[in-house]
Amino acid sequence: MTEPIAYASPEDAAKTDKKKKNRKRKRGSKPSEPNTTGTEDSEPQIPNQTDKEDKGEGDWEQDKDEIDKIHRLRPQVTLDYCIVASSQRIDLLYSFMGKNQYTKGIVFFCSCDSVKFHSDLLRSLNANCFGVHEKQTQQERTTTFFDFCKAEKGFLLCTNVAACGLDIPAVDWILQFDPPDDLMEYLRRVVLRARGECEVGRELLFLIPEEMRIIRFLEAANIFLRSRVFKVNRKVQAQLEQTVGDNYYLRKSAKEAYKSYLIAYNSHSMKDYFNFDRLDLQGVAASFCVSIPPRQT
């Protein structure tokens, strides 16, 4: 097993993130239509390659080395995505973790508050998960990470900054619950999975219907993802909402996570693909088990 190493400081990692947010991308490709057929066990559909000139192949020359690295990892990592309504995101995550409870994985979120809320909620439902984010002390992050490394199964919930400097052993899944801020961030998340010792791992990108254009964005870099369709159990949402509603601290945490999610989404560097004005705020609130969206201040 690969020996885990200590964290890079959040401050250093934040500097790296700040640099990549200054990247400028040419955009304007047509949106890709979601796959609306099939079941959870259906054969994944591989998007067909289209005219490279239409996709703006020249936009990715500066990232060619990193993109080539991803292609070399393809035998080791399968890249998938799924389309899910905002209101059903937490249902799908909880169900997915339950079905894959005997595996190990990493789940990426866009904010510390979101990591805290989801890890607290899922642990209250006896899910085997660990939460790591920048608001924790260095000792807390390191201890939690080593606990995850020693565990035979479970999911590590974290932010990008908190994950910087990790050497992840034997990870089966990379779940990009909140989408990456740019292409390089996506690549780093996938490469993180490849550090493990598993012969084959899987990456799953969660998208809401309003974000489908990001698939064409990745295709422009010759990164093709397979479409997966998962069934969502509506009874799960009711169970999650009741759990949050009955716990004052979870209710408070849910509202804070909801607000942090909106702030992070609104500051996304790829606004052509992640447009705040297209968000279903009621659906987003439901994804945090909040029946009425909190007023924005």
Contacts of 276 (CB under 8 A, 6+ apart): 262, 265, 266, 268
Which one-letter DSSP state was computed for residue 134?
A: T
40 in a domain, yes or no?
no
279 in a domain, yes or no?
yes
Structure tokens that stand for 193 in this block: 């999975």
Look at residues 34, 27, 25, 28 and name the one whose alpha carbon lies nearest to residue 225.
34
Number of structural domains (the chain) is 1
296 in a domain, yes or no?
no
Instruction: Determine the Cα–Cα distance for residues 80 and 221; give it in Å rounded to an integer.
Output: 16
18 in a domain, yes or no?
no
pLDDT tens per residue, range 67-117? 666 666 555 678 899 999 999 999 999 999 999 999 999 999 999 999 999
Domain of 126 in residue numbering reads as: 45-286
What's the CATH number where 115 sits? Answer: 3.40.50.300
Judge whether residue 4 has pLDDT over 60: no
**Who wins on pLDDT, 288 or 188?**
288
Work out the mean pLDDT of the chain and round it to a whole number. 76
- For the chain, how many helices (H) and strands (E)? 12, 7
On the 0-12 / 13-18 / 19+ scale of CB atoms within 10 A, 245 is: middle
Lowest-confidence range among 56-60, 102-106, 153-157? Answer: 56-60
23 in a domain, yes or no?
no
- β-bridge mates for residue 204, sequence order: 80, 175
15 in a domain, yes or no?
no
Q: Amino acid identity, residue 204?
A: L
134 in a domain, yes or no?
yes
40: confidence class by pLDDT, cuts 50, 70, 90: very low
33 in a domain, yes or no?
no
